[in-house]
């Protein structure tokens, strides 16, 4: 028959076991489900949605929820658009939700249409969470581009395309070059270039011209087009002179030919459009695609 002392010991052990189980059941569990979260305030919204014209300031509220048993400190930031928070760093107590108002500014000059953006939160342990923003930029769609800094240098025609509108452009380019007596030296039909120009951006490009003349005065014209009615044309003049021959033993006849080119060139200009100086300076962009 067990003694009273041993029975008391067994009862104490049972009490300790039940107490331990109770403590484990009530202790906070570290699981993904209990991690803090970031979401639009109000519930029921999988992401933020906002719409405004360029320059507009839009308001909303984001919620930080901490279901765990310990407080967390979270730093907030925005991507894709400028975002200003009422409190960029927030300490959220255990089992608490914090609602933080914020504003976002639609960038000036932003193209009409959807623009990706997001709110990003990061705690002191490096854990991050993201809430997407579906931003629709309003305003009229304007398609416009220009051809700039056109120049000829040997076997290359260099130029820049600039998107002056509010829509993304996939430009096409046509190239034509006419010699001194109206002879067509180069005639390339419009073709789509391997570039996409965002509003307000420019790109430097070049066209190869391996078969350029050895001796001639040439009119070069580039015509760029894009959907929506975008269109621009740029012209430049180039002289091709065999300077090696001019400097050699046969320099005199070659030099005479070069001077004849310039004089005939001047007469043709006076008969049509006003004469323009033939610059000897060549601008190089140094970029090719």
Query: What are the pLDDT digits (tens) for 33-73?
Result: 358 999 999 878 899 999 999 899 999 999 999 999 999 99
- What one-character DSSP code corresponds to residue 169? B
**Which domain does 125 fall in, by range?**
34-137
Does one domain contain both 185 and 260? yes
Residue 205 inside a domain? The answer is: yes
Out of 118, 137, 156, a domain closes at 137
Does one domain contain both 128 and 155? no
What pLDDT sits at residue 246? 60
We report the CATH number of the domain holding residue 107 as 2.60.40.10
Does one domain contain both 121 and 230? no
pTM for the structure as a whole: 0.50
What pLDDT sits at residue 112? 83
Does one domain contain both 253 and 168? yes
What pLDDT sits at residue 259? 35
Does one domain contain both 65 and 83? yes
Minimum mean pLDDT among 18-32, 158-172, 198-212, 235-249: which range?
A: 18-32
Out of 137, 169, 189, a domain closes at 137
pLDDT band at 251; cut points 50, 70, 90: very low
What pLDDT sits at residue 169? 93
Tell me the mean pLDDT in the region 112-122. 91
Q: Is the pLDDT of residue 9 over 50?
A: no
Does one domain contain both 105 and 167? no
DSSP 81-115: S-EEES-SEEEE-TTEEEEEEEEEEPPTTPPSEEE
Structure tokens at 198: 């965002």
Does one domain contain both 125 and 49? yes
Out of 137, 171, 193, a domain closes at 137
DSSP 147-161: EEEEEEETTEEEEEE
């Amino acid at each position: 028959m067990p003694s009273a002392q041993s029975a008391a010991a067994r009862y104490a052990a049972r009490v300790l076991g039940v107490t331990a189980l109770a403590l484990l059941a009530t202790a906070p569990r570290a699981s993904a489900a209990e991690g803090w979260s970031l979401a639009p305030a109000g519930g029921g919204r999988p992401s933020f949605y906002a719409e405004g014209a360029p320059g507009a300031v839009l308001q909303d509220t984001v919620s930080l929820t901490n279901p765990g048993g310990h407080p967390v400190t979270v730093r907030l930031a925005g991507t894709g658009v400028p975002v200003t928070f009422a409190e960029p760093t927030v300490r959220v107590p255990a089992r608490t939700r914090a609602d933080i108002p914020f504003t976002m500014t639609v960038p000036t000059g932003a193209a009409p249409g959807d623009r990706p953006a997001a709110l990003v939160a990061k705690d002191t342990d490096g854990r991050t969470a993201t809430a997407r923003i579906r931003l629709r930029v309003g305003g009229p769609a304007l398609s416009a581009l220009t051809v700039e800094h056109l120049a000829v240098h040997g076997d290359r025609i260099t130029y820049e395309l600039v998107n002056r509108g509010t829509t993304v452009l996939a430009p096409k380019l046509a190239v034509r070059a006419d010699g001194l007596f109206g002879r067509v030296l180069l005639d390339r039909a419009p073709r789509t270039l391997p570039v996409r120009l965002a509003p307000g951006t420019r790109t430097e490009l070049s066209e190869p011209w391996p078969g350029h003349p050895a001796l001639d005065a040439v009119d070069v014209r580039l015509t760029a087009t894009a959907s929506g009615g975008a269109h621009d044309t740029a012209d430049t003049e180039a002289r091709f002179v065999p300077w090696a021959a001019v400097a050699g033993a046969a320099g005199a006849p070659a030099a005479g030919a070069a001077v004849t080119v310039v004089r005939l060139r001047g007469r043709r200009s006076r008969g049509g459009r006003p004469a323009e100086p033939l610059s000897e300076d060549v601008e190089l962009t140094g970029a090719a695609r």
